[in-house]
Amino acid sequence: MTSQRITHAERVIDEKSGFTKGELVAYYGQVSALMLPHLRARPVSLVRAPEGVGGELFFQKHANQNEMPGVKLLDPALDPGHEPLLQIDSAAGLLSAAQMNVIELHTWNATSSAIDRPDRFTLDLDPGEGVGWPQMQEATMLVQVLLDELGLPAFLKTSGGKGMHVVVPIRRHFGWDDVKDFAQAIVQHLALTIPERFVAKSGPRNRVGRIFVDYLRNGFGATTVCAWSVRARPGLGVSVPIEWDELPDIESAAQWTVRNIGERLAVGNAPWAAMEEQRRGLAAAMKILGRLPTG
């Protein structure tokens, strides 16, 4: 681990787990080798919690005056009209962010070198009030079935909160709007064919007893929490890549927390090892759903 100076290391950042800021920095040092492949070369957004998870949270997409050593500032031309976007490519940058009270790290669906064309899309299964975990498991499998019918590979991770994240690696053939439109078509198809399980509109009132599959994570500048990131909520769940055949045995989307993550580190990124080689073009799947762009 790098020699990151930690201020207020003894400060408890989560009353439920008793976890301290010093332990958080140590956690990110411990998982840096697993997490950096997910962070590297992508713009990152940061969720800062200066007063811990019970206090106000700050979502930071761009550079500010508090420059963090090791956190790279990208070319301002990538997101015109704003301060530079951020990128973390090293353990030093990750620990520096944790020292600055960053709990969550969220990544874009594109790399900084090809920011206009996403190389994946993400479906975030967000359960409404009254949705039990068995329903979440079933719904997640139904999403995989649809993606399989569309000829698309799907990789799974826990959100560390209540939902599940399905990630589809794609070739960079289309821009943000077309990819987001296609992700929306998937969600609309699910809501149309299985309305008792899925809803295509966000908002708590729309999804009581049902699951909103959030396709809005796929626009320019939108982000999803990074694999191995801690979540800024009581208990400090961790977002963890899993195999599809593990899903029936998982007890919640917050199965792993900062307190029990050690048992999972040996598995590491193995569930996503085939992601790069399974990358697919979207045209055929778009055609099936009637969303192939004509322009």
- Read off the pLDDT of residues 231-259 as tens digits, 9 standing for 90 and up: 999 999 999 999 999 999 999 999 999 99
Residues 214 and 230 in one domain: no
Residues 64 and 101 in one domain: yes
Q: Which among 231, 198, 232 has a CA at the least distance from the CA of 215?
A: 198
- Please give the sequence-ordered ranges of beta strands (E in DSSP) within 112-223, or none if there are none: 120-127, 155-158, 164-169, 198-199, 211-214
User: Is the confidence at residue 89, as pLDDT, over 90?
Assistant: yes
Structure confidence at residue 2 as a pLDDT band (50, 70, 90): very low
DSSP 18: T
DSSP 56-81: --EEE-B--SSPPTTEEEPPGGGSTT
Spatial separation of the C-alpha atoms in residues 198 and 139, rounded to whole Å: 8
CATH code of residue 82: 3.90.920.10
Taking only the tens place, the pLDDT of each residue in 195-205 is 999 999 888 88
Question: Which two three-digit tokens encode residue 294?
Answer: 């004509």
Predicted TM-score (pTM) of the model is 0.96
Question: Which two three-digit tokens encode residue 222?
Answer: 């939108």
Residues 81 and 184 in one domain: no
Instruction: Provide mean pLDDT across the span 270-289.
Output: 97
Residues 22 and 135 in one domain: no
Residues 96 and 138 in one domain: no
C-alpha to C-alpha distances, 236 to 14, 39, 154, 233, nearest whole angstrom: 7, 20, 26, 6
Q: Which residues constitute the domain of residue 66?
A: 12-115+221-236+254-264
